[in-house]
Chain A
């Protein structure tokens, strides 16, 4: 590409440091216009957005702190309640155990009483039975004695008188030894 030098060429560089009034006024105008535009339309919006974000971050941190405190409080409360519940549960269990033991005890007591009653009853039955048996034996002995006496004397004894006599004789005998042997 051929490069054609411009006809007007300055060989000196002094124009570089010679201020131009027109350019300075242009600069001033452009700069002031830019500043007014930015001050009106750009900076407040950016500042507000940054402030808003900062506020929202602070709010978020505050909320998080508050939530944490509340959560801690709730947790403590639940722990307390759990402890209470555990204590109550233990109390209920121990009470139930005690009740069960008492009932158990009462039941065994009742059973024991019943058993003793039954034993007593049995003992009484046995005693009654023994007495009856002894009476029967006595009758038997009386009858045998009468029979034996009739055999020996070849004489019929008048039933009632003889019987009374034999009974008196036998009555002096002690049959209690029979009962105690049972």
Chain B
């Protein structure tokens, strides 16, 4: 069977099932009361420890950290002269981080010092993003199986919560600012914020702008990651049925399902790695820029 034929048959089945569902249950249905998609991302305290209360996000943090450390240490302890596929993949990531992310933005000594930080950031964010696409029974919704209320399987990501990217961004901000002050001294670092060749009253204005832009980095770094992952999860959620529930149109769930699958693949295949890479690269650029003298 040719590919064209397979696509035509698949599309035909899709249209036929859509029509059948609309014919069976109609276009209009009861609208769900009180369902809001963002509820999926609400954190409920599971174990009350005051400020250190354990909730879903903490669980995801731990899963991400354990997976990151376990897989990396497992591979690191079994490094072979002739690598298998997994080792090749890890080596590719390691060398990419070492040469293109860290090495490209700072000198050798500084790269050796900051590599563990930046590599951990990239890997930790990547794993956090990735496990966010594995459905786990962590939803506030439950379903009834022989009288047992089992939490519904849902997608959640630690990085889809602002607190986590924000604290990582704060660590990055503190790191590059302290590195810059160490390299140039407090006054030198602040002076270094003004681009070379700017004098007079303009310098003061530019200085204020530069300080503001440095603070904005906190927001841009954290919100970029948070918003990307949150939006990805929300759109998968919408396409996988939330739209049908909110509008009360059962057929819509079937219609949007292929888009949900496609977006899921897109998020897992590209966005998860890309956002981790961007976060790590920007960190390296900020660190390199803080100590460079030509700024």
B-side contacts of A43, CB under 8 Å: 72, 76, 94, 115-116, 119
CA distance A30 to B69 in the complex (A): 11
Q: Tell me the residues in window 25-66 of chain B with beta carbons closer than 8 Å to chain A beta carbons.
A: 34-36, 38-39, 41-44, 50-53, 55, 57-58, 61-62, 64-65
Closest to B230 in A: A16
Instruction: Please give the distance in Å from A45's CB to the nearest CB on chain B.
Output: 4
Looking at chain B, what size class is its interface with the partner chain? Answer: 35 or more
A35 contacts B116, CB within 8 Å?
yes
Does A110 reach chain B (CB closer than 8 Å)?
no
- Mark the stretch among A2-10, A92-100, A128-136, A137-145 that contacts chain B: A2-10
Say what secondary structure dominates the interface of chain B: helix
A180 at the interface (CB under 8 A from B): no
CB-nearest residue of chain B relative to A21?
Answer: B51
Which segment of B140-148, B178-186, B272-280, B281-289 sits at the interface? B140-148
In this assembly, does A11 line the interface, its C-beta being within 8 Å of a C-beta of chain B? yes
Say yes or no: is B73 at the interface (Cβ < 8 Å to chain A): yes
| Interchain nearest-CB distance for B176 vs A (Å) | 16
Q: Does B228 contact A (CB under 8 A)?
A: no
Q: Does A117 contact B (CB under 8 A)?
A: no
Interface size class of A (residues with CB under 8 A): 35 or more
Contacts known (A34-B120, A42-B69); A10 close to B36, Cβ less than 8 A: yes
Q: A9-B36, A23-B164, A34-B124 are in contact. Are A41 and B116 (CB under 8 A)?
A: no
Name B38's contact: one of A2, A8, A10 (CB within 8 Å).
Answer: A10
Contacts A15-B42, A16-B162, A37-B69 given; indicate if A23 touches B58 (C-beta within 8 A). Answer: yes
8 Å CB interface, B230-252 against A:
230
- Would you call A38 and B120 a contact (CB within 8 A)? yes
Q: Is A118 an interface residue (CB 8 A)?
A: no
Interface pair B65/A34, CB less than 8 Å apart: yes
Nearest A residue (CB) for B127:
A34
Which of A10, A34, A38, A56 meets B81, CB within 8 Å? A56
Query: Which B residues from 104 to 155 make CB contacts under 8 A with A?
Result: 115-117, 119-121, 123-124, 140-145, 149, 152
Q: Are A45 and B116 interface neighbours, CB within 8 A?
A: no
Which chain A residues lie closer than 8 Å to B121 at the CB level?
31
Q: Please name 6 further chain A to chain B contacts, defined as beta carbons within 8 Å, in addition to the given A27-B168, A28-B167, A31-B120, sorted by A numbering.
A: A1-B145, A3-B152, A11-B34, A31-B121, A38-B68, A46-B75
* Sampled A-B contacts (12; CB under 8 Å): A1-B144, A3-B141, A5-B141, A9-B35, A9-B39, A13-B38, A15-B43, A20-B43, A23-B164, A24-B166, A41-B73, A49-B76
Contact surface of B with A, Cβ cutoff 8 Å: 34-36, 38-39, 41-44, 50-53, 55, 57-58, 61-62, 64-65, 68-69, 72-73, 75-77, 79-81, 90-91, 94-95, 98, 115-117, 119-121, 123-124, 140-145, 149, 152, 158, 161-164, 166-168, 171, 230
